[in-house]
Amino acid sequence: MNKSRTASLIQAMMQAAAAALLFLLLSAPAQAVPSFGRQTGQPCASCHTVFPELTAFGRQFKLRGYSLGNQLDDNNFPFNLPLSGSLIGSHSSIRDSRASDPSEDFPRAGETILQTAAVYYAGKITDSTGAFVQYGYDGIERRWAIEMADIRYASSTMLRNKELLFGVTLNNSPGVQDVWNSAPMWSFPHLEDAGIMPEVAPALDMALAGQAAGLGLYGFWDNILYGEIGVYRTARKGVLRPFSAGVPTETVVDGHAPYWHLMFNREMGNQSFAAGIKGIIVNIFPDEDEPSGPTDRFRDVALEAQYQYIGAVHTFTADATWMRETRDWDASFPMGMASNASDKLRTFKANVHYYWQRRVGLGVGYFDTQGDRDMLKYGMADGPSAMGSASGSPDNRGWIAELNYLPLKDTQNLKLGLRYTAYSRFNGARNNYNGFGRDASDNNLLFGYVWFIF
C-alpha cells in the first residue's frame, strides 16, 4: 500500500467523520441514542460491549423479544415508534488489481462511498413481541433491500423451580436470530468491505442471508441451557417475499431446510462463557432459474464457543467457530456440473476483540477454509478474473486486524475503524491462483469507515 493511497484514505475518513459529527450535533434530542436505548432507558453499554457485540443483558433483551421497557406505553404515536437509522461512509483500497477485471471484481474499491444508509424498526411491538428489521441502501451492491429481519414473541414459565424463557422467531437468515457473538452474522469484523470474499462458504456462514425465511422455536432454561429448532425456505414468493425484498435470489431451497441449535451458557460476575453446536440440512436446485427436478444436498454442522470479560476499563471478547459441510452433488454430478459425487468443506474462524474504556479497540481475526478439489464446481472463470481458480480448490486462509475509535464520550453513536485484511491463500494457492498471474496477497485490502448510528 503506497503512501498516497493511505493518505487519501485517512483524509476521506476525516471528512466523513466531520460530516457525521456535525449531523449528530444538529440532531434533535429524541435522536441522540438508538431506539433500544430510548425504549429501555439504558445506555448503549448495557446491551453492547461496543455495537454490535452483545453483553449478557443484551442477549436477554433479544431473547425476550426486544420488549423490555416502556417505549409504546404512552400516547405519543407515531413519535414513540422504535425507529433508528445508521450511516456508514467508507473507503477501500485493494493492494493490486492485476490479472483481474477491476470493474467486475472491485467495483467500488478506491472510492469514498456511502456504504450504508439504513432505517431500523428496532424494539417493542406489544408487551410480548418485538422486532429488529433493517431496510437500507447497500453502496457496494448499489441496491435497496431488507438486510436483516428478526421478529419475536417471548414469554417465560417455571420448570424445576428455574425460569424457562421461551419464544418464537421469524427471521430471514440462519444466524440473524443468534445472541452469541460467535455466530458469523454477528462475529468480528462486523462490517463488509469493498474487497472480494471467497465465493465458496458453508450454508451456515451466511450463504442464505436475505434469501430464505425461517420460523424457529427456542427455549433458555435457567440462563444455562439454550435450544432451538426451526425450518427455512426460499423467500422470493408468497407471504415470505417481504423478508427478501431487494435481495437477488441466487440460492433456491427445495421445500424446507431444518435447523437446530444447542448452547451451554455460564455467567460468572463480569465474565461469561458459552459453547455449543448447530446444524442445517439444505436441498438446493443447481439452477435458480429452474427450481424443479433433482437437487444438491448440503449438510452443515458447526461447533462454536465464546468467552467474554466486561470490566470498568477493559472489555474483551473471544470467539471461535468450526464448520463442516458435506456437499452431495445429487443433481450436479449426473449433469456433468461437478467433478465429484460429493465434496467436503471445512471452515475455521477465530477472533479476539479488546476495548479500553469502550472507546479504543483492537480486533484480530483468523480464517481458514479447506475443501476437496472440484474443477467443475470451483474451477477457472472465463478470462483473468480475481475469482478464478486454476486448481479447482476452495482453500482460503488469512487474517484481519482492525483498530476502532469511538470519539464521543458516554455514547457509541459514532465509530471510526481502520482495517487490514491479508490473504496467505486464495482459491487454492498462494501464487498464481487464477492461472493468469494473480497472487493471493494481491487481494489484501485496507479499509476505513465511519459508522454513525442514531
Instruction: Give 184-238 pLDDT, tens digit per residue.
Output: 889 999 888 888 888 899 999 999 999 999 999 999 999 999 999 999 999 988 8
Question: What is the 8-class DSSP label of residue 42?
Answer: -
Percent of the chain with pLDDT over 70: 91
Residue 292 pLDDT exceeds 50: yes
Residue 71 pLDDT exceeds 70: no
Q: How far is CA 317 from CA 36, 136, 186, in A?
A: 22, 28, 12
- Rounded average pLDDT over 319-334: 97
What is the average pLDDT score of the chain? 89
Residue 324 pLDDT exceeds 80: yes
Helix, strand, coil content of the chain in percent (nearest 5): 15, 45, 40
42-56, 222-236, 279-293, 440-454: range with lowest mean pLDDT: 42-56
Domain 3-453 sits in CATH at: 2.40.160.10
- Residues 39, 93: Cα–Cα separation, whole Å: 39
- Residues 164, 176: Cα–Cα separation, whole Å: 22
Residue 54 is placed in which grid cell? 452483545
SS3 category, 58: helix
Residue 16 pLDDT exceeds 70: no
- Rounded average pLDDT over 287-307: 95
Whether omega before 78 lies within 30 degrees of 0, making that bond cis, reads yes
Position 20 scores a pLDDT of: 42
pLDDT level of residue 3 (50, 70, 90 thresholds):
low
Residue 40 pLDDT exceeds 90: no
Residue 80 pLDDT exceeds 90: no
Q: Are 421 and 444 in contact (CB under 8 A)?
A: yes
pLDDT level of residue 33 (50, 70, 90 thresholds):
very low
pTM over 0.85: yes
